[in-house]
Amino acid sequence: MLDRKRSTHTASLTAYVLNGRYIIGDNVLRDIDPQSIRKVVIHKSGDAPAKWRSLASYGILEIFLRTKVHPESRSLPQIQRWLKLTGPVRFQVDGQFLKDTSLRVVTAAIASLEVRRPVAAGGETIVNYSPCAAAPPPVPPGQIRIRGLVQR
């Protein structure tokens, strides 16, 4: 299992797709210059494109940039080879099965890859990709940030 850049900050379960091609995490989303965004499309489970509907449980935020970008990324077959997996493999993003195998995963956005091997011969291996969470913004000196509910 690959595990890096794990944060105590919980990642969003919303799926982020950049230019209709790349799956990104909170950390990559935070690095996008707002002036470079051409269009943002929010897909809810019912109106998501059929190829992404399996990811739409928590919504999909599809971001289109004004210019073409080619971030360092891997296709799902490349990840399968990188992990040295043979036989049938299915991919998940945060536990949601990914049907669109043309999507690429931005390598900087990989927090972890969990591999679950089949229990029976001839079964399929499952690779669950968890995107990186953005670290919470720093607290300015002299201030205290408290998370939670206040009750009187």
Domain ranges in the chain? 2-131
DSSP letter assigned to residue 9 = S
What is the Cα–Cα distance from 80 to 98, expressed in whole angstroms?
14
Q: Give the tens place of pLDDT for each residue, 45-65.
A: 778 888 888 888 888 899 999
For the chain, which ranges sit under pLDDT 70?
1-12, 134-136, 147-152
Residue 3 confidence (pLDDT)? 42
pLDDT computed for residue 151 by the predictor: 61
Q: What is the pLDDT of residue 37?
A: 93
DSSP 129-140: EEEPPPPPPPPP
Alpha carbons 5 and 9: distance in angstroms, whole number? 11
